[in-house]
């Protein structure tokens, strides 16, 4: 399973890239606003750090303007993946970009049928938002299971990119279901590493080694 990092903070991306944990990056207008920086400048910097897909989202709501914005974003770097919303116009723009060989991430997916339409439009990635469904009392991970089942049934090449990940259990369940990608905030990556028995075991090993009086 690939790990995309859900952030627009350059330092966080550099740190995780050094760990070998970054297969791609996803950004959105909210993350860019949080960074307080110029959108295109941030996308360019991220693309210089990461070899994998870097999702950059259009903000237009009509297909014609989405395409114009997407073309400007795609010109930033070869690994830019145009991000469009799961609307009629977003699907139109998706079909256009895919016909021209540009990667497309269709975002804000909340139902299996929406995911099916995105796959038929040729989406490179579909981004179901599991955390937001959990927030309203629905089972976000059930959506992932349904999409994976449908895509496997018809051999769609669209990759399931689990988004709105809130905690390590989302990552675990996504891996069990065979999702292609999870996009996670940096803090969740840190949470995946930590386990009290790892810390306790390392402490014991080091204490025993010190007693030997040896050096490597």
Residues with catalytic roles: 83
**DSSP classification of residue 137:** T
Q: DSSP string of 79-115?
A: TEEEEEESSHHHHHHHHHHHHTT--EEEEEE-SHHHH
Give the CA distances from residue 53 to residues 36, 76, 77, 81, 103, in Å, rounded to whole numbers and listed in that order: 22, 12, 10, 6, 8
For CA atoms 125, 12, 16, 76, the dihedral sign is positive
**Alpha-carbon gap, residue 145 to 180, rounded angstroms:** 12
């Amino acid at each position: 399973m690939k790990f995309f990092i859900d952030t627009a903070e350059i330092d966080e991306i550099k740190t995780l890239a050094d760990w070998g944990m970054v297969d791609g990056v996803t950004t959105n207008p909210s993350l860019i606003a949080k960074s307080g920086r110029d959108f295109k400048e941030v996308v360019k910097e991220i693309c210089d750090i990461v070899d994998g897909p870097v999702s950059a989202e259009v903000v237009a709501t009509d297909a014609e303007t989405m395409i114009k914005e997407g073309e400007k974003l795609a010109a930033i770097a070869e690994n830019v993946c145009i991000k469009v919303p799961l609307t009629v116009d977003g699907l139109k723009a998706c079909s256009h970009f895919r016909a021209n060989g540009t990667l497309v991430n269709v975002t804000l997916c909340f139902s299996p049928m929406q995911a099916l339409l995105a796959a038929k439009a040729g989406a490179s990635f579909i981004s179901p938002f599991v955390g937001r469904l959990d927030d309203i009392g629905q089972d976000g991970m059930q959506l992932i299971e349904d999409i994976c089942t449908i895509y496997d049934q018809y051999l769609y090449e669209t990759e399931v990119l689990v988004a709105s990940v809130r905690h390590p259990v989302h990552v675990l369940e996504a891996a069990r279901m065979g999702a292609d990608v999870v996009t996670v905030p940096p803090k969740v990556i840190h949470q995946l590493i930590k386990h009290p028995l790892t810390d306790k075991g390392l402490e014991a090993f080091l204490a025993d080694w010190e007693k030997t009086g040896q050096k490597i």
